[in-house]
Chains A and B, each alone.
Chain A
Amino acid sequence: QQPVQSPQAVILREGEDAVINCSSSKALYSVHWYRQKHGEAPVFLMILLKGGEQKGHEKISASFNEKKQQSSLYLTASQLSYSGTYFCGTELRSGNTPLVFGKGTRLSVIA
């Protein structure tokens, strides 16, 4: 049930864009995106519910394609502070259920 994330790692220069994908073989109810910096707990970025919605927060946005059971996280005009490991967590149904996380995508932004 673990979602599959791609790419595994990416290196960007400041100002460049990146896309991180998260896909599931099962029908999803929701997709949650987190960023984790070394030695720290994951920080919540955003959540997408089934219905194909798209959300954005400043230069970070995400979409959820219900037909493909795939979510994508878009990072535009990347900043040094964007560096970290990005995880998607998925839920198969509504309710107080735990998230199942992908293996993560390590993003490094260099000057």
Chain B
Amino acid sequence: GAVVSQHPSWVICKSGTSVKIECRSLDFQATTMFWYRQFPKKSLMLMATSNEGSKATYEQGVEKDKFLINHASLTLSTLTVTSAHPEDSSFYICSARDRIQGGIEQFFGPGTRLTVL
């Protein structure tokens, strides 16, 4: 299957700092990537849809000024958590499909665990 990578796999930061998370499709091009957030023992909640070359589409209740998404190329989307606070601590996961090859499976990256002190 298609491979999606994320970097970093974990990060610890101080409250008030900004953190950037990268999501890459390694062996395919992704015009669209999805960002999810998962709290411990909870489900995956969709945060936003990242579209290459255009603005991201955010889900209701997700602050677009706090969670900045940039999809600058067909293989890279970044999520920046600005002015992070302890309540932003979570597991952030991106996913994508290999649409060009007609794939319908959605593959997930390994996730990034963010801890804000």
Contact = CB atoms under 8 A, between A and B. Distances in A.
Contacts of B34: 98-99
Max chain A Cβ within 10 angstroms of own Cβ: one of B32, B34, B104, B106: B106
Given A96-B32, A96-B99, A98-B34, A44 B105 contact: yes
A98 B105 CA distance: 11
B44 A96 contact: no
A101 B59 CA distance: 14
A83 to B, nearest CB: 14
A47 B105 contact: yes
Interface residues of A, number: 22
Contacts of B42: 103-104
A21 interface: no
A96 B40 CA distance: 28
A98 B46 contact: yes
Given A87-B44, A96-B31, A40 B110 contact: yes
Contacts of B108: 34, 41-44
B28 interface: no
Interface residues of B, number: 23
Contact of A40 (B44, B45, B46, B111): B111
B109 A41 contact: yes
Interface string A64-101: 00000000000000000000000101000000101111
Contacts of B46: 98-100
Contacts of A104: 42-43
Contact of B104 (A2, A39, A40, A47): A47
A41 B110 contact: yes
Contacts of A49: 104
Nearest to B47: A98
19 contacts: A30-B104, A40-B111, A41-B93, A41-B108, A41-B110, A41-B111, A42-B93, A42-B108, A44-B1, A44-B108, A87-B43, A89-B44, A98-B34, A98-B95, A98-B106, A99-B34, A99-B106, A101-B45, A103-B42
Interface of A: 2, 30, 32, 34, 39-44, 47, 49, 87, 89, 96, 98-104
